[in-house]
Structure 1
Amino acid sequence: MSTQAYGYDILHNPRFNRGTAFSQDERRKYRLEGLLPPGVNSLAIQIARTHTELAALDSDLQRYLFLSDLQARNETLFYALLMSDPATYMPIVYTPTVGEACQKFDHVFRATRGLYIPIDARGRVKELLRNWPEQDVRFIVVTDGERILGLGDLGVGGMGIPIGKLALYTACAGVPPSVCLPITLDVGTNNASLLDDPLYLGLRHERVRGADYDAFVDEFVSAVQDLYPKCCIQWEDFANFNAVPLLARYKDKVCTYNDDIQGTAAVALAGIYGALRISKQKLTDQRFLFLGGGSAATGIAELISEAMVLEGLDIESARKCSSLFDVNGLMVRSRTDLAEFQKVFAIDHAPINSFVDAVRALKPTCIIGVSTVPKLFNQAVIEAMSEINERPIIFPYSNPTSRSECTAEEAYRWSKGRAIFASGSPFPPVQIEAQHFVPGQGNNVYIFPAMGMAVFATGATRVTEEMFIVAAKAVAEQVSDESLEKGLIYPPQSQIFKASMHVAASVAEYIFDHGLARVERPADLVAHIKAAAYSPTYPPV
């Protein structure tokens, strides 16, 4: 234990606190005698006790708050608990429960975590960053809270997303928590209910736009580079009209990526690779129709296109394999309301205003929902997909569960068990007559923690598009034939750490092969990554 703190201070330092796991010798050495009950527990006993406490709570939101308090009190126990049963705890610390926590953020606020940088601190952003106690920050997940999951503008309440994402960096891929920093850039909110709420904790004005916003973000990125030159910035839950330009502005200048665009794209591509193992078809023979035309849709479509290029298509032909459908209908070239990032996927076609009509006209092999509008993959849509395809690929990826375009049971039942299904939020197994299906969750957790570990272990200077294709292939190749028989096209979440280590090694190999690493290539890359990974154990004194 590398701390000079003693007594009460240790018990209030989450990095060093062990609670009842302090031995009698440690209690004497660190002046803890009398400050704890006499009994000494192992970490395993602490995990079991905490699991029992959580099971007794009435709702997942209560469990989320309990775990938030635990993270603020005993970091080792928090991560040991998460890593002991990731399939159980990931939906609590992140989606779908984090959505409700963000909505109620101001009413359930407890211990602060991360940094809040308001736009009225322009000119002093570096000063605020210096208030963070760690000197070697390698990962920042940052949001401005404008497009939280499918829930919209939640202002500073969006901080739950960076906190949750970084918890999964550690729990799922072993990125040390000491190098992770969650940040909210507070530029105001356009959510009137928040501005009228006396408990709201953010700036009480409408969102700042334009040149002032851009200058604020520029100052933030510059300050991060000055203070933390090895840091990777992950953009999270920015509105489309900011997310796409921000990624374009910085991706070739600093180590950065946008998980909503690139991480979502990679996990979707991984699902497609998994689905093709079931249908026995080629990627270049697929046709994709997206419900939703934002940055997530165009990000997935572009990564699919680039993956097709690696399989022999030219980029223009590859892009023609994807079409987008939004609130104003099919994205055709005659429309005048398309943003620049959408135009590349606009097609020459008569306007279509009904999604099921678009399915019948374009005959996609796969539909991907990123609309955040529930139930739009209705019975007519699923049945139309099933008429066109022997094994229709149905991916309702919108989060949280309440925003999913359809449920697993609807997809399987309406397709008579022929759908290859994955969703953004978890659904329980489905029984259709004699068939038992285990629906996969196309959760970005298969991508971003592993990407983080690869960047951390190599000191990567950039995150490239092809790194996400490498990650997608590495995810898909881990799905067993037994899982595919049950319809599961992603590795089981109970094995997420093992899966992440494999993905991280594959991405790290790419980083070294392309001269993007800051460290020398180790003789044993897998061993190097495992050695760099955080382990939630109490170190000897």
Structure 2
Amino acid sequence: MKSTAAILNNPFLNKGTAFTQAERQSLGLVGTLPSHVQTLDEQAKQAYAQFQSKPNDLEKRIFLMNLFNENRTLFFRLMDDHVVEFMPIVYDPTVADSIEEYSHLFTDPQNAAFISVDDPDNVEAALKNAADGRDIRLVVVTDAEGILGMGDWGVNGVDIAVGKLMVYTAAAGIDPAQVLPVSIDAGTNNATLLADPLYLGNHHKRVTGDQYYDVIDRFVTAEQKLFPESLLHWEDFGRSNAQVILDKYKDKIATFNDDIQGTGMVVLAGILGALNISKEDIKDQKFVTFGAGTAGMGIANQILDELKRAGLSEDEARKHFYAVDKQGLLFSDTPDLTAAQEPFTRDRAEFDNADELTTLAAVVKTVHPTVLIGTSTQPGTFTEAIVKDMAAHTERPIIFPLSNPTKLAEATAADLIKWTDGKALIATGIPAGDVDYKGTTYHIGQGNNALMYPGLGFGLIAAKAKVLNGETLSAACHALGGIVDTTQPGAAVLPPVSQLTTFSQKLAEIVAQSVLDQKLNKEPIADAKQAVADMKWVPEYKSLD
């Protein structure tokens, strides 16, 4: 029998005041808790009142994280009841404040594994110790070099992995005892962290090259050895490493990079939803991506794959893209291109004014895009002039200012509606309220990866997928884009976060079916829908006596 302390301090077993009298007798808990036995409902009501009493979002997040550290079932019951309210607290945008203060606020490792580039011989031991005998089915790993809108935050970025896994459980229902957040501490180039004596990570600049990739390889080898049925999710790696790592492992194991594929999938789903409203064909669109980092190029790759599935050749499909970064339009002779950017460059000979295409305004004026996607983290760059220029050349401009948090957004939904006289089809990177304009209420979709990755990941795990391929990615995008209600004026191009649990379940079933149809499952599975249902965890107390 586990000791009293071991049970009360184990967040996967702890019920707090909800331990029954019989359990208190059999588990040696008599006298360690107040006499009254609460129900989970009573605990949830009590905890929500405590949450509401906190003065700001960071304090609310600290409260929820403490609850998470003490009692996973109660935490997820509470999140289940208040998913729309809690999502921006446990993840974007409040997680940004938590990351900045992580080393100063640290109280608990939250069952994460911490791998140091300076200690490569203990990679397997770190994973094994953090898992503590649990049956791990999902690993989210980050080195936190490229946190969207924040940059390099070293070991503090482990909060990203923890938050991502919370959303997996809340949205799709993966058992929180079967997940593992992992931090790969390769150092940091953040001067503020390096100068901070309280910073908990390695106090040296980032390790790169062979030494870095050796640690990544050791990690993947150990992860697959210890958790052979797991899905490996990469999160917030830097633009020089993210695509390289994904390309190395994607055809060998069940893995995906959320910044590359997840972001691309949600944006493609939003585009498909927008085209369902406008009744246009994806093959007729011109795409300008503003911000050619990991997310921007991941989006381009996902759309490219869809154009090829729609019947275009590789060369034909690439002609639909214009990648714009801080230098302007990316050309084949632009210096210092990343591996992800190179396939999306243009030739200078295509343009009479190539030397002038150094700004987004010049590119939009020249190419007349029908779709404008922002992952630039440059606030206000989708200006009234640019948007009106775009709208003058396309009936229903598709405009997605996706940078977050709010202060980094390329434009607001309200301005885009006004500047296009209600014609724009919009998704934002942060939650946006309805926009009332000339008698119509416009519902604004959020291009939030949480709309996609929980259902995608859960379906892959339930189907015991060997790999994730383009066929399955496309099936998931069409499923999410197809949820749009095209009959309503002002309809959103993506479903709302309030329906997250419902459509995550549907997505998981479609993903699992795609795996089975392609015979990519490791073990025989008779029914995709049943496999998803059988794996779903619900936040209810189980008997321990």
TM-score under structure 2 normalisation? 0.95
Deviations 1:30-74 (A, max 9, x none): 232322222222212221222221112111111111111111100
Aligned equivalents of 1:410 and 1:279: distance in 2?
20
Aligned equivalents of 1:522 and 1:86: distance in 2?
32
Q: Which residue of 1 aligns with 2:82?
A: 85
Equivalences for 1:66-105 in 2 at 5 Å?
66-105=63-102
Q: Which residue of 2 aligns with 1:513?
A: 517
Structure 1 counterpart of 2:513, which letter? Answer: E
Q: Which residue of 1 aligns with 2:39?
A: 42
How has the CA–CA distance of structure 1 residues 384 and 87 changed in structure 2, closer, same or farther, with 3 Å as cutoff?
same
Q: Which residue of 1 aligns with 2:388?
A: 383
Aligned alpha-carbon RMSD (Å): 1.5
Q: Can you give the 5+ residue segments of structure 1 that lack an aligned partner in the other structure?
A: none
Aligned equivalents of 2:133 and 2:439: distance in 1?
56
Q: Which residue of 1 aligns with 2:204?
A: 205
Aligned equivalents of 2:250 and 2:220: distance in 1?
12
- 1:62 maps to which of 59, 62, 83: 59
Equivalences for 1:111-122 in 2 at 5 Å?
111-113=108-110, 114-122=112-120
Q: Which residue of 1 aligns with 2:364?
A: 359
How has the CA–CA distance of structure 1 residues 13 and 337 changed in structure 2, closer, same or farther, with 3 Å as cutoff?
closer
Structure 1 counterpart of 2:506, which letter? Answer: H
Q: Which residue of 2 aligns with 1:225?
A: 224
- Aligned-pair distance for 1:142? 0.7
Task: Check the 8 A contact 1:397/1:422 in 2, yes or no.
Answer: yes
- 1:538 maps to which of 537, 541, 545: 541
- Aligned-pair distance for 1:6? 4.4
Aligned equivalents of 2:510 and 2:84: distance in 1?
23
How has the CA–CA distance of structure 1 residues 134 and 430 changed in structure 2, closer, same or farther, with 3 Å as cutoff?
farther
Structure 2 counterpart of 1:229, which letter? Answer: P
Q: Can you give the 5+ residue segments of structure 2 that lack an aligned partner in the other structure?
A: none
- Aligned-pair distance for 1:416? 2.0
- 2:129 maps to which of 128, 131, 141: 131
Q: Which residue of 2 aligns with 1:441?
A: 446
Deviations 1:290-316 (A, max 9, x none): 101112112111111111111111121
Equivalences for 1:130-529 in 2 at 5 Å?
130-132=128-130, 133-348=132-347, 349=351, 350-351=354-355, 352-481=357-486, 485-523=489-527, 525-529=528-532
Deviations 1:471-516 (A, max 9, x none): 111111122346x533312122111111011111111111011111
- Aligned-pair distance for 1:362? 0.7
Runs of 4+ more than 6 Å apart: none
The 3-state SS of whatever aligns with 2:129 is: coil
Deviations 1:395-445 (A, max 9, x none): 011122222111111211222222111011112222224222221101111
Higher mean alpha-carbon deviation, 424-433 vs 207-216, is at 424-433
Q: State, as a whole percentage, how many aligned pairs show the same letter.
A: 39
Deviations 1:66-98 (A, max 9, x none): 111111100001111111221111111111111
1:16 aligns with 2:13: yes
Aligned equivalents of 1:385 and 1:51: distance in 2?
46
Deviations 1:151-178 (A, max 9, x none): 0111111001000111111110111112
Aligned equivalents of 2:171 and 2:255: distance in 1?
20
The 3-state SS of whatever aligns with 1:106 is: helix
The 3-state SS of whatever aligns with 2:392 is: helix
The 3-state SS of whatever aligns with 1:421 is: strand
Structure 1 counterpart of 2:52, which letter? Answer: A
**Number of matched residues?**
536
Task: Check the 8 A contact 1:85/1:494 in 2, yes or no.
Answer: no
Structure 2 counterpart of 1:126, which letter? Answer: E
Task: Check the 8 A contact 2:146/2:236 in 1, yes or no.
Answer: yes
Task: Check the 8 A contact 2:463/2:531 in 1, yes or no.
Answer: no
Aligned equivalents of 1:490 and 1:425: distance in 2?
13
Aligned equivalents of 2:338 and 2:71: distance in 1?
47
Structure 2 counterpart of 1:522, which letter? Answer: A
Structure 1 counterpart of 2:526, which letter? Answer: P
Deviations 1:243-298 (A, max 9, x none): 01111111112221110000000000000011011111011111110101112112
- Aligned-pair distance for 1:135? 4.2
Aligned equivalents of 1:433 and 1:35: distance in 2?
62
